[in-house]
Structure 1
Amino acid sequence: MTVKDDSFTDWKNREEIAESMIPLIGMLHRERDVTVLLHSRSLVNKSVVSILKTHRFARQIAGEELSVTDTLPFVQALTTLDLGPSQIDIGRLAEIHQADDRGLSVAEFTAEAVAGATGGNKIDRREPRDVVLYGFGRIGRLVARLLIEKAGSGNGLRLRAIVVRGGGDQDIIKRASLLRRDSIHGQFQGTITVDEAESAIIANGNTIKVIYADDPSEVDYTAYGINNAILIDNTGKWRDREGLSQHLRPGIDKVVLTAPGKGDVPNIVHGVNHDTIKPDEQILSCASCTTNAIVPPLKAMADEYGVLRGHVETVHSFTNDQNLLDNYHKADRRGRSAPLNMVITETGAASAVAKALPDLKAPITGSSIRVPVPDVSIAILSLRLGRETTREEVLDHLRDVSLTSPLKRQIDFTTAPDAVSSDFIGSRHSSIVDAGATKVDGDNAILYLWYDNEFGYSCQVVRVVQHVTGVEYPTYPAPAV
């Protein structure tokens, strides 16, 4: 048999194994509210090829490809356990089991590693929590996709309504079409139908009421059967406590803003300061996409090396706030054509660091340039460290953080030598460290951090909402602290 035949036979065998995983992963998700992960990447509702590619990706960050022959036994072992709601990373299970010298079988080791989610230790499955989207633009529609995707188990978050201003004839059909097809993020994974008579969009069986209102004061959500809901404001029209408090109408319990909050509104970066949210806090912000991109790696560097000062330069994709062609704009430069120019603008991300990392006393400055790409940005984070180090040490540290730390859902890591911005469309991490571009000289370090400023940020928003509603289930094996 030739090498070519061997390779093809191996591929077909791995396809068969990955195919056998799919119903097991689906059963765990639907029946037990267990999300199977591979190095922080969900395997729920993934295709055979997607599962194989996710295993192959482990080579970039762990040094060698992870085989489905190694991980299938762990999935099979999970199906035999009395599991409660949780997230279980089979990549980490396989990695830790390989290093374990006690001679435990896969079944024995798995039972021990996830004991906190089994039997008398398991947490109760949560009742669905209502969610309302106020505004249905770029972030609103991506958050909607994520909420619909995560509703598969029937527990957790349930998107009940979106609130928009009326847009004329066939408004709901046009909005459903924008949810169904996206020029950047592709087709919606599932089916979408419209019930014009009931003013509703049905997405993968989820009935989403479309409420038309020009002002928060016009809506009584209990009239639509919505109670104790989380309202996500995607408009950015109100950013302080007084303005956002207008959303606290009948049926709404908490308000989450998808923009930097002003005044005393807490700015939350999930993975960094989400545990500071007070249980009775009704209004909070998810900060900006750039703040979410720089704060996790900044914390990772500060914790290990100390940071004396820093500067962040963001090269940011253009946004809907800019003009397509030159026209009047209240800002000085944003009136110039977005797809034809690089546009210098301001960023509040650097000043927002203090809200998310109050213990970091180092001054952080920042500026931004908008460039003619529709999505994915890069933050160039230049740091003066508290001690000298090497490029290899910094990369090893950030690789470990991306794999095993509590920041592993926020920080990703790539060694691809030819990586460009479009490679990161759809990334669920808030920040991806580009290893090849990283520069370190003594106590100076420059990190190049890619981020999908639309989808990655939307994932962070959903994580914050999961946390405040109590449906952010524990992960096993537990991340290293």
Structure 2
Amino acid sequence: MTLNDDSFTHWKNREEIAESMIPMIGKLHRERDVTILLHSRSLVNKSVVSILKTHRFARQIAGEELSVTETLPFLEALTTLDLGPSQIDIGILAENHRADDRGLSVLDFTAEAVAGATGGNKIDRREPRDVVLYGFGRIGRLVARLLIEKTGSGNGLRLRAIVVRGGGEQDLIKRASLLRRDSVHGQFQGTITVDEANGTIVANGNEIKVIYADSPAEIDYTAYGVNHAILIDNTGKWRDREGLSQHLRPGIDKVVLTAPGKGDVPNIVHGVNHDTIKPDEQILSCASCTTNAIVPPLKAMNDEYGVERGHVETVHSFTNDQNLLDNYHKADRRGRSAPLNMVITETGAASAVAKALPELKAPITGSSIRVPVPDVSIAILSLRLGRETTREEVLDHLRDVSLTSPLRRQIDFTTAPDAVSMDFIGSRHASIVDAGATKVDGDNAILYLWYDNEFGYSCQVVRVVQHVSGVEYPTYPATSV
């Protein structure tokens, strides 16, 4: 047998193992509300190749590939346990077991690591929580995709309605088509049908009512069977408490804004300050995509080294707020053609840091350049640290944060030497540390942080909604805070 034959045989064996994992992962998710993760990446509804690629991802982070032969025994062990709703990371289970010197079997070690989700410790399965989208633009449609994807067993978030202004003939069909096909993010993973008679879009079995209204004051959501819902405002038309309070109509309990909030509206970055949300808070903001991109790495660096001051320069993809061709715009420079120019503009991300990370006392300044790409941006974070360090130490710290810390869903890490912006379309992390571009000199550090300003941000929004709705289940093995 040749070397190539050996490699091919090894690949086919791993394919077979990955195939055997799919029904176990699906059954745990549907029947017990258990989401199987691998280094914070969900394996639910993934293909054989996707499962293998996710395992291989560990190679660029930890230096060696994590094999399905290592994780399969832990997945099999989980199927034998009396599990309740939870998220379980079999990658961390496998690595922790490898480092454990007590000689425990896989089953005993797994049972101990997930004890908080078994037997008498199980939490109850949550009742479905209604969600309404107000606005159906770039972020609205991506949030819709995520909500439909996460319906799972039917006990989580359930997208019930979308509110838009009437757009004329075949409006419903055109909106469904925009959900079905996206020039940047590709095809919707599933099936979509339109019921024009009832004014609904049916996506993967989820019946979504499309409500036409010119203002929140026109709507009684209970008339559509919507109750105790969380409304996500994707329009950005109202950003203060008074304006957003208009959404608190019959059927709506809470309002989440997908733009920076003004005044006393809490600005929430999941993973950093979501645990500060008061149970009775009805209105909150998910801040901006750039704030979500820079605050988690800022926290990681401040916790380890201290940050004395910083500056963030964002090189940001163009957005619908800009003009396709030169035309009047109320803001300076944004009236110039977005696909033809680099456009210097402002960013509120730096000033928003104080709201999301009040323990960071360092002054942070910021500016932005819009560039002719449709998605994925990069934040260049220049920091004066509280102590001197080395590039190797900073990279080791951020690598560990991306793998095992409570920020592992927010911070990703890449060592790819030829990484470019298109490589990060569809990233579910708030930001991705580019190891090759990182610079450290004494107490000065410059981090290059990629972020999918559409999809990664939408993932952060959904995480906040899951948290406030009570369907954000605990993750095991637990990580230290």
Q: State the TM-score, normalized to the length of structure 2.
A: 1.00
Deviations 1:368-402 (A, max 9, x none): 00000000000000000000000000000000111
Deviations 1:147-183 (A, max 9, x none): 0000021111000000000000000000000000001
Deviates more, 1:442-451 or 1:105-114: 105-114
State how far apart, in whole Å, the 2-side matches of 1:73 and 1:256 are: 41
CA shift at 1:480, angstroms?
Answer: 2.6
Deviations 1:15-39 (A, max 9, x none): 0000000000000000000000000
State how far apart, in whole Å, the 2-side matches of 1:122 and 1:89 are: 17
State how far apart, in whole Å, the 2-side matches of 1:167 and 1:124 are: 43
Deviates more, 1:129-138 or 1:330-339: 330-339
Deviations 1:293-328 (A, max 9, x none): 000000000010000000000000000000111111
Deviations 1:55-108 (A, max 9, x none): 001101111000001111111111101000000000000000001111111111
State how far apart, in whole Å, the 1-side matches of 2:201 and 2:29 are: 24
Deviates more, 1:356-365 or 1:158-167: 356-365
SS at match of 2:383: strand
State how far apart, in whole Å, the 2-side matches of 1:180 and 1:2 are: 46
SS at match of 2:146: helix
SS at match of 2:246: helix
SS at match of 2:152: helix
Deviations 1:216-250 (A, max 9, x none): 00000000010000000000000000000000000
State how far apart, in whole Å, the 2-side matches of 1:404 and 1:119 are: 26
Q: Number of paired residues? A: 481
Query: Residue 55 of structure 1 corresponds to which residue in structure 2?
Result: 55
Deviations 1:177-211 (A, max 9, x none): 00000011010000000000000000000000000
State how far apart, in whole Å, the 2-side matches of 1:437 and 1:173 are: 45
Counterpart mapping for 1:233-312 below 5 A:
233-312=233-312
Deviates more, 1:100-109 or 1:312-321: 100-109
State how far apart, in whole Å, the 2-side matches of 1:218 and 1:352 are: 33
Is 1:415 aligned to 2:422, yes or no? no
Deviations 1:84-143 (A, max 9, x none): 000000000000000111111111111111010000001000000000000000000000
State how far apart, in whole Å, the 2-side matches of 1:97 and 1:243 are: 52
SS at match of 1:339: coil
Query: Residue 102 of structure 1 corresponds to which residue in structure 2?
Result: 102
State how far apart, in whole Å, the 2-side matches of 1:236 and 1:438 are: 34
State how far apart, in whole Å, the 2-side matches of 1:309 and 1:335 are: 33
State how far apart, in whole Å, the 2-side matches of 1:21 and 1:359 are: 43
SS at match of 2:151: helix
State how far apart, in whole Å, the 1-side matches of 2:78 and 2:438 are: 39
State how far apart, in whole Å, the 2-side matches of 1:143 and 1:62 are: 31
SS at match of 2:111: helix
Query: Residue 444 of structure 1 corresponds to which residue in structure 2?
Result: 444
CA shift at 1:479, angstroms?
Answer: 1.5
Deviations 1:421-449 (A, max 9, x none): 00000000001000000000000000000
Alignment identity in percent?
Answer: 92
State how far apart, in whole Å, the 2-side matches of 1:357 and 1:56 are: 34
State how far apart, in whole Å, the 1-side matches of 2:416 and 2:64 are: 14
Deviates more, 1:323-332 or 1:205-214: 323-332
CA shift at 1:359, angstroms?
Answer: 1.4
State how far apart, in whole Å, the 1-side matches of 2:405 and 2:27 are: 28
State how far apart, in whole Å, the 1-side matches of 2:152 and 2:52 are: 22
CA shift at 1:454, angstroms?
Answer: 0.2
State how far apart, in whole Å, the 2-side matches of 1:230 and 1:468 are: 9
SS at match of 2:150: helix
SS at match of 1:227: coil
SS at match of 1:152: coil
CA shift at 1:476, angstroms?
Answer: 0.3
SS at match of 1:309: strand
Deviates more, 1:170-179 or 1:103-112: 103-112
CA shift at 1:255, angstroms?
Answer: 0.1
State how far apart, in whole Å, the 1-side matches of 2:65 and 2:326 are: 49
Is 1:90 aligned to 2:90, yes or no? yes
State how far apart, in whole Å, the 1-side matches of 2:69 and 2:309 are: 47
State how far apart, in whole Å, the 2-side matches of 1:82 and 1:206 are: 29
SS at match of 1:153: coil
State how far apart, in whole Å, the 2-side matches of 1:73 and 1:360 are: 43
State how far apart, in whole Å, the 1-side matches of 2:332 and 2:233 are: 27
SS at match of 2:465: helix
State how far apart, in whole Å, the 1-side matches of 2:290 and 2:102 are: 45
State how far apart, in whole Å, the 2-side matches of 1:352 and 1:128 are: 33
State how far apart, in whole Å, the 2-side matches of 1:67 and 1:280 are: 45
SS at match of 1:151: coil
Query: Residue 456 of structure 2 corresponds to which residue in structure 1?
Result: 456
Deviations 1:239-291 (A, max 9, x none): 00000000000000000000000000000000000011000000000000000
Query: Residue 5 of structure 1 corresponds to which residue in structure 2?
Result: 5
Query: Residue 426 of structure 1 corresponds to which residue in structure 2?
Result: 426
- Divergent runs of 4+, >2 A: none
Query: Residue 186 of structure 1 corresponds to which residue in structure 2?
Result: 186
State how far apart, in whole Å, the 2-side matches of 1:43 and 1:204 are: 18
State how far apart, in whole Å, the 1-side matches of 2:427 and 2:334 are: 27
The root-mean-square deviation of aligned C-alpha atoms, in Å, is 0.5
Deviations 1:321-357 (A, max 9, x none): 0011111111110111101100000000000000001
Query: Residue 372 of structure 2 corresponds to which residue in structure 1?
Result: 372
State how far apart, in whole Å, the 1-side matches of 2:83 and 2:298 are: 36
